[in-house]
């Protein structure tokens, strides 16, 4: 993998934006360095940017929104950003989140209800630190919260907690899901009632440390001209708390049917898997990470392969992005986050929503998060 210096790249983005007066297109601060005094001139441009949508939550910092329609409402399961006082590093250690809130909306736009803390790290027996991006699913009137967290040896696994309410609170299982690893779980219900979990994230998400079910504490990345590290999938058991099969890789192909290469940073998978169906096709979307796009690929079944089709969302203020896509009351919506609420602080983010539209051929219209 081509490992860019995040701080250098992000500041370059800011300078480019200032020179070209196109702050709406490429902005972000670093995932590895705090915004220091000598960058305040760049940060101040946030005050002049017109965003296409406002933060949904303003009394907490929220990120990585997983949105679902449960009981006729939109329920949003984001991560909860806090100022943990942890020094920033290249692996995101400063993202020291320790609990989850659940939010709901009866309409878009509309009021957002905070249902309070749904799960706290202190109530997860195996957890060590860093409760990152979660997701949720419903089956037979029970609700399941899936969450990544590092164990007490600092290795990411995926946990599950359950509740009889989509708002929680959730009760965690005493151990992580067997054979789970890395981060960013999302659980998709297929039209035949089968559930699948997609997961994985490179770099701080540790996916590059796994070869099959074997963990290597050393980071191993492919050469730029080799196939990129791939996201993972596993069918869920009927209990919704375990895998029904060995974990498989999800292939993402280019227009020639070849696997995307590790050096193809604008298109290859980095993190933030999401799956949805539209007109009989399966849309696998994800973040490209260090190039800041939400991209997507289309396939004919949940396992893929998926052929890359384009960009859903252009870069936002703040280094990361993470999204979900949901249909509600006859329209499609993209939930995402940026860092406008904190004036560009990369680890204090806010969730947002905007309408998503398709072209007649089934491709998705690219969204610019800011107006020129």
70, part of any domain: yes
Q: CATH code at 262? A: 2.115.10.20
What is the domain range of residue 163? 6-371
Tell me, yes or no, whether 147 lies in a domain.
Answer: yes
> Where residue 178 falls among pLDDT bands split at 50, 70, 90?
very high
57-71, 81-95, 313-327, 340-354: which has the minimum mean pLDDT? 81-95
Longest CA–CA span in the chain (Å) reads 55
Residue 347 has pLDDT above 90, yes or no: no
Query: Is 292 inside any structural domain?
Result: yes
Q: Going by C-beta distance under 8 Å and a sequence separation of 6 or more, which residues neighbour residue 280?
A: none
Residue 241 pLDDT grade (very low, low, confident, very high; cuts 50, 70, 90): very high
Residue 88 in this model has a pLDDT that exceeds 50:
yes
Residues in the chain: 372
Q: What is the residue-averaged pLDDT of the chain?
A: 88
Residue 333 Cα to chain centre, angstroms: 15
Cβ-based neighbours of 303, under 8 Å, separated by 6 or more: 233, 248, 250
| pLDDT, tens digit (0-9, with 9 covering 90-100), for 182-240 | 999 999 999 999 999 999 999 999 999 999 889 999 999 999 999 999 999 999 999 99
Q: What is the pLDDT of residues 15-72, one digit of tens each?
A: 333 333 333 333 333 233 333 333 333 344 566 789 999 999 999 999 999 999 999 9
Stretch 105-133: mean pLDDT, rounded? 97
Cα separation, 56 vs 108, in Å, equals: 10
Whether residue 279 has pLDDT greater than 60: yes
Q: What is the pLDDT of residues 137-176, one digit of tens each?
A: 999 999 999 999 999 999 999 999 999 999 999 999 999 9
Q: Assess if residue 54 is contained within a domain.
A: yes
d(CA 10, CA 270) in angstroms, rounded, equals 17
For residues 23 and 268, the model is more confident at 268
1 in a structural domain: no
d(CA 39, CA 291): 20
2 pLDDT above the threshold of 80: no
What was the pLDDT predicted at 214? 93
- This prediction's pTM: 0.88
Nearest to 183 by CA among 264, 306, 92: 92
Question: Does the residue 141 lie in any domain?
Answer: yes
Q: Rounded to whole angstroms, how far apart are CA atoms 289 and 241? A: 29
pLDDT higher than 50, residue 265: yes
Question: Which entry of 64, 81, 264, 345 is annotated as an active-site residue?
Answer: 64
- Mean pLDDT of the region 105-128: 97
Structure tokens at 355: 């309408």
Catalytic residue among 271, 290, 338, 345: 271
The per-residue pLDDT for 86 is 65
Give the Cα separation of 213 and 105 in Å (integer): 39
Check pLDDT > 50 for residue 8: no
> What is the percent of the chain where pLDDT is above 90?
79
Residue 358, both tokens: 């398709």
State the total domains in the chain: 1
Query: Model confidence at 319, in pLDDT bands (50, 70, 90)?
Result: confident
* pLDDT at 109 > cutoff 70: yes
List, for residues 133-145, the tens digit of each pLDDT value. 999 999 999 999 9
- Closest among 109, 67, 80, 101 to 170, alpha carbons compared: 101
Q: Average pLDDT in the 344-354 region?
A: 93
Three-state secondary structure of 4-27? CCHHHHHHHHHHHHHHHCCCCCCC
pLDDT at site 346: 85
Confidence of residue 345 (pLDDT cuts 50, 70, 90): confident
Over residues 74-84, mean pLDDT: 92
Report the distance separating Cα 124 and Cα 151, nearest Å: 10
Note whether residue 176 is domain-resident. yes
For the chain, the C-alpha Rg in angstroms (whole number) is: 19
C-alpha–C-alpha distance, residues 36 and 240, integer Å? 45
Distance in angstroms between the alpha carbons of the first and the last residue of the chain: 33
Q: Is residue 156 within 8 Å of 200, Cβ to Cβ?
A: no
For residue 371, the model assigns a pLDDT of 92
Catalytic site includes residue 64: yes
| Alpha helices, H only, the chain | 6-20, 40-43
The pLDDT of residue 344? 87
Is 372's pLDDT higher than 80? no
Q: Can you read off the two tokens belonging to residue 6?
A: 């995040």
């Amino acid at each position: 993998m081509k490992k860019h210096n995040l701080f250098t790249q992000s500041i370059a983005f800011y300078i480019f934006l200032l020179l070209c007066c196109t702050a709406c297109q490429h902005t972000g601060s670093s995932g590895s360095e705090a915004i220091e005094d000598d960058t305040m001139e760049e940060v101040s441009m946030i005050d002049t940017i017109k965003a296409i949508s406002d933060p949904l939550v303003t009394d907490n910092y929220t990120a990585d929104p997983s949105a679902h329609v449960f009981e006729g409402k939109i329920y949003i399961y984001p991560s909860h950003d806090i100022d943990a006082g942890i020094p920033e590093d290249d692996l995101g250690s400063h993202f020291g989140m320790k609990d989850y809130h659940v939010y709901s909306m009866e309409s878009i736009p509309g009021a957002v209800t905070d249902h309070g803390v749904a799960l706290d790290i202190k109530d997860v027996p195996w957890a060590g630190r860093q409760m990152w991006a979660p997701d949720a699913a419903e089956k037979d009137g029970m609700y399941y919260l899936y969450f990544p967290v590092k164990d007490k040896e600092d290795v990411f696994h995926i946990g599950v907690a359950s509740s009889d309410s989509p708002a929680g609170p959730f009760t965690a299982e005493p151990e992580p899901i067997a054979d789970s690893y890395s981060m960013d779980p999302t659980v998709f219900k297929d039209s035949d009632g089968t559930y699948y979990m997609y997961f994985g994230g490179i770099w701080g998400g540790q996916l590059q440390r796994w070869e099959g079910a074997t963990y290597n504490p050393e980071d191993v990345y492919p050469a730029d001209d080799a196939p990129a590290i791939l996201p993972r999938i596993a069918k869920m058991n009927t209990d919704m708390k375990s895998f029904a099969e060995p974990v498989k890789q999800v292939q993402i192909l280019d227009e020639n049917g070849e696997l995307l290469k590790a050096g193809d940073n604008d298109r290859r998978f980095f993190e933030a898997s999401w799956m949805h169906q539209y007109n009989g096709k399966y849309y696998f979307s994800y973040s490209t990470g260090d190039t800041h796009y939400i991209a997507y690929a289309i396939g004919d079944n949940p396992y893929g392969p998926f052929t890359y089709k384009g960009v859903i969302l252009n870069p936002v203020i703040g280094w990361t992005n993470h999204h979900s896509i949901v249909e509600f009351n006859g329209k499609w919506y993209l939930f995402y986050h940026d860092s406008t609420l904190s004036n560009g602080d990369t680890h204090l983010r806010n969730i947002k929503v905007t309408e998503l539209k398709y072209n007649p051929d089934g491709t998705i219209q690219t969204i610019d998060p800011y107006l020129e």
